[in-house]
Amino acid sequence: MQVVRTVGELRQQVRAWKQEGLRVGLVPTMGFLHEGHLSLVRLAREHSERVVMSIFVNPTQFGPGEDYDAYPRDEEGDCAKAASAGTDLVFIPSVTELYPLGAETFVECLHLPNHLCGLNRPGHFRGVSTVVAKLFIAGEPEVAVFGAKDYQQLQVIRRMARDLLIPVEIIAAPIIREPGGLAMSSRNKYLSSDERARASSIFQALNLGRELAEAGETSSRVLADRMAEVITRAGGRLDYLELFHPETLESCEEIQGPTHCAVAAHFGRARLIDNLRLVN
């Protein structure tokens, strides 16, 4: 597995592969890899002959007071895991490699960020869509794989690539969970073992919502209250729990068609997110 740190080296290798007729898949990450990230590599492999993973803790998607400095980093461990999952090249740029000094150009999706995480994290999706656009331009992948765990991010990236006419196929990967149901996340490192056990209430709440919806409950208020109770009883502090249309992200008062639910909740110093389709 190659490790490169500059856009020039990345482009040179990707273009060489393309000249050989090989399809290139990209898996963007912020590192501190877990099984969720590695599942993305395996999925990328199914859709392409060469897999590039980027590891970059993107400063522009963190707000003031968020965990940019504390975000866990482990370059050596990440490279070993990426290689074991079949990654061909890891791209580990510095901040100035992706944001040249004086950079003042951003990519902003106008409406999709006005929901869910975007409300509590102003500027977050501007940072995400900007860095992913840069990675698409630098790496010229035919396909790129993103986890459904970051549901809103996935919608924003799909829209960004479509709107900017970037010829990349976006593939969604299912959420990989711990045995108790907690969605895997680099931020799970912040949890004590007690908090980790209690945080599985997020997935329990989502499943309860789905069961109630399947049993015929259509009021979002009733469903949200029942689900929220499961999380708060376990000691979680909710940022939001929303029922919404899976594509527009517009919240719905009554379930009338396809409905998705997303949650953000704090356990200890970790802010955790998860989501589930309630009604297809």
Stretch that binds ligand AMP, among 31-39, 80-88, 239-247, 265-273 (CB under 6 A): 31-39
| Least distance CB 166 / ligand AMP (angstroms) | 17
| Burial tier of 72 (Cβ tally within 10 Å: 0-12, 13-18, 19+) | middle
Which of these ranges, 14-22, 93-101, 170-178, 263-271, lies near ligand AMP under the rule CB under 6 A? Answer: 170-178
Site membership for ligand AMP, residue 129 (CB under 6 A): no
Query: Is 37 a known active-site residue?
Result: yes
Residues 12 and 15: their CA atoms lie apart, in Å, by: 5
Task: Assign 167 to helix, strand or coil.
Answer: coil
In whole angstroms, how close is the CB of 175 to ligand AMP at the nearest point?
4
Q: Does 178 bind ligand AMP (CB under 6 A)?
A: no
Q: Which two tokens stand for residue 165?
A: 């006419």
The torsion region of residue 235 among left (phi > 0), alpha (psi -120 to 50) and beta comes to left
Q: Which residue has its beta carbon closest to ligand AMP?
A: 147
- Using CA atoms, how far apart are residues 213 and 193, in angstroms rounded to an integer? 32
Q: Interface with ligand AMP includes 146 (CB under 6 A)? A: yes
Which is the catalytic residue, given 37, 115, 124, 260?
Answer: 37
Give the strand order in the sheet containing 169-173. Answer: 2-4, 89-91, 50-55, 24-29, 143-147, 169-173
Beta carbon of residue 205, minimum distance to ligand AMP (angstroms, whole number): 17
Q: Residue 176, interface with ligand AMP (CB under 6 A)?
A: yes
- Residue located via tokens 């090989």: 22
Chain contacts with ligand AMP (rule: CB under 6 A): 29-30, 36-37, 39-40, 146-147, 149-150, 173, 175-176, 183-186
